[in-house]
Amino acid sequence: MIERHIVLEDIDPVVLYGAGNAYLQIIKALYPKLRIVARDNVIRVLGDEELMANFEDNIEKLRKHVLKYNSINEEDIIDIIKGRKTKEDTAKDVVVYNISGKPIKSRSENQQQLINAYETTDMIFAIGPAGTGKTYLSIALAVKALKEKQAKKIILSRPAVEAGEKLGFLPGDMKEKIDPYLQPLYDALEDMLPAVKLQDMIEKHIIQIAPLAFMRGRTLSDAVVILDEAQNTTTAQIRMFLTRMGWNTKMIITGDLTQVDLPRGTTSGLREAIDILKDVEGISIVRMNEKDIVRHKLVTRIVKAYKEADKARPAEADGMRTDGKEENQTR
């Protein structure tokens, strides 16, 4: 008889143990010859060495399942311990699972184009109107890379530009001043990672969220780097950002060229970057349109109405595109 202590890392043990330790009781029932006691994230096991090795192997599989899918159920536990594939393992085209176990996958042709571009190139421009999922899907791809250890960190950035309103003086320290601009990025992360784990990753700088100005002087390596709302960058800002790219890094730049909030007469750096880099090998440009919108059906109608209105008036000198071109390009 030997005794082992197994530490559950990277997951919330409550998810594995189940409400009222219901799942833990199932695990115990499947190993009647072992004495199993769990406290917090440590499982203490006493029993035969050969049976213990099998138990440790299956607990590791259960841990990886929870880490990947953010959930587990009775059927999953039995399938894993019996050596069978779970229902989730047989699902196709899933990027990651959210904190409630719901699969996150492409929901349109152009969203799939974004996923394909991520797999084949290191720099992707995802351009499209509000609600097309470009930011959410990009963050999902970054979370997947982190979970699968293809990247060591996620870096998310946005230009701190007010969307048509003057917010005035914001109280608090630097983080409190810039957080309102970055909240949409936090929202997406909170949907994909448990709150405690997300906070721990932010504190350890595994996930970094910062305004664009904080990127100057850095070399970003071993990371997935996302620049959101890039239509609000100036030429100098986006050039600075793009040249931060280091080794083993993926960059995704998202933006909506119909929602430029720069001062009138200022050219959008995103518009200029696309024109300059459209033929550069290793860069993909994915254009989304109203058909890709996954929000309320009214959003699609609103975007379409404004698009028609834009066509009816001359383009203003703010970098907005009004020609309606929606082609995908990969170089």
CB distance 38 to 21 below 8 Å? yes
Per-residue confidence (pLDDT) for residue 196, from 0 to 100: 85
Residue 165 has pLDDT above 80, yes or no: no
Of residues 216 and 206, which shows the higher confidence score?
206
Which tens digits make up the pLDDT trace of 250-264? 999 999 998 888 888
Three-state DSSP class for residue 160: coil
Question: What percentage of residues in the chain have a pLDDT greater than 90?
Answer: 48
Amino acid, res. 321 = R
Closest to 137 (Cα-Cα) out of 161, 113, 155: 113
Return the number of other C-beta atoms located less than 10 Å from residue 281's C-beta. 7
pLDDT for residue 169 is more than 80: no
- Does residue 5 carry a pLDDT above 80? yes
The predicted structure's pLDDT at residue 17: 93
Residue 167 has pLDDT above 70, yes or no: no
Contact 258, 323 (CB under 8 A): no
Specify the pLDDT at position 183.
82
Average pLDDT, the chain: 85
Closest CA to 18 of 98, 102, 77: 77
**What is the edge-to-edge ordering of all strands in the sheet holding 2-7?**
2-7, 42-47, 35-39
Of 204, 313, 326, 312, which is closest to residue 257 (Cα–Cα)?
Answer: 326
pLDDT at 320: 44
Nearest to 13 by CA among 65, 81, 80, 66: 66
- Alpha-carbon span 194 to 214, nearest angstrom: 27
Amino acid type, 4: R
Q: How many CA atoms lie within 13 A of 251 on its CB side?
A: 21
Other residues' Cβ atoms within 10 Å of the Cβ of residue 18: 17
- Chain segment 84-131, per-residue pLDDT in tens: 888 777 777 889 988 888 889 888 889 999 999 999 999 999 999 888
pLDDT digits (tens, 9 = 90+) for 42-70: 999 999 888 989 999 999 999 989 988 88
CA distance 130 to 44: 50
User: What was the pLDDT predicted at 289?
Assistant: 85
The answer, as to whether pTM is greater than 0.75, is no
Give the C-alpha separation, 110 to 117, whole Å: 10
SS3 6: strand
Q: Which residue from 157, 152, 137, 140 is spatially nearest to 209, judged by alpha carbons? A: 157
Rounded CA-CA distance 103/90 in Å is 12
Helix (H, G, I), strand (E, B) or coil at 140: helix
Q: pLDDT value at position 164?
A: 42
Q: Residues near 204 by Cβ (< 8 Å), separated by ≥ 6?
A: none
- pLDDT given at position 326: 44
Closest CA to 85 of 53, 56, 61: 61
In this prediction, residue 302 has a pLDDT band, given cuts at 50, 70 and 90, of confident
